Amino acid sequence: RCSSSGGIIVDSGSTISESQQEAETVFAQSLCTTASSGGTSGGGSPSAPGTFTVDSDVSCVGQADGIFLASRYCNVFHRCVSGIRRDFRCPRATNTPYDLWWDQQTQQCDWPCRIQCSGSVYGTSTSSQQVRTENALLFSNECAGYQNNANNIFHNNQAI
């Protein structure tokens, strides 16, 4: 399972579904969880059959409790709890076909137009650049003042 404020991703073999209720339960109990409660181990290996795993190379071994780590996916992040990695997916933005993206600097999910990410977007074949461009067009108020280039994002002409 990949827990997410947007829903826990459950891979049953033939289908992938999300459960908002399960995600809220996991997130609320995340500081009290143990390896037997699901999720992934510090090395990213599945701890239970049917567990969905992303970023198998990201480890929480030796990381501070509660720390957030970025993912290779723009819309996924990890949280370390007692050396165990929990995988979260940013929630889907209202009235859009895509999720918000993880901002490692602010440690929260935000509009794609505000975040520089050239990685993959989990759950879609749409490129990160295409999502960012569409987001800027559809949500001009949220994206006002943000200009993306290949290396930086600028807000009101200041690199962020």
pLDDT at position 20: 63
pLDDT band at residue 11 using 50, 70 and 90 as cut-offs: low
pLDDT band at residue 103 using 50, 70 and 90 as cut-offs: very high
Q: Name which of 81, 80, 98 is nearest 136 in CA terms.
A: 98
* Cβ neighbours around 48 below 10 Å, total: 12
Each residue's pLDDT tens digit, 121-146:
988 888 898 998 888 888 777 777 66
**Residues composing the chain:** 160
pTM over 0.95: no
pLDDT at position 45: 41
Return the residue matching tokens 């459960």: 19
pLDDT at position 102: 93
Burial track 14-31 (b if 16+ CB lie within 10 A, e otherwise): eeeebbeebbeebbeebe
DSSP secondary structure, the chain, as one string: -B--TT-EEEE-SS-EEEEHHHHHHHHHTGGG--GGGSSB-TTS-BSSTT-----TT---TTPPTT-EEE-SBTTEEEEEETTEEEEEEPPBPTTSSSB-EEETTTTEEE-GGGS---SB-TT-SS-HHHHHHHHHHH-HHHHTTEEE-SS-EEETTEE-
Please tell me which residue, 98 or 17, carries the higher pLDDT value: 98
What is the average per-residue pLDDT within 153-160?
43
Each residue's pLDDT tens digit, 13-47:
666 666 666 666 655 554 433 333 333 333 444 44
Domain ranges (residues) in the chain: 8-89, 101-159
How many C-alpha atoms does 19 have within 13 Å on its Cβ side?
Answer: 13
pLDDT at position 134: 86
Contacts of residue 140, Cβ cutoff 8 Å, sequence gap at least 6: none
Q: What is the mean pLDDT of the chain?
A: 70
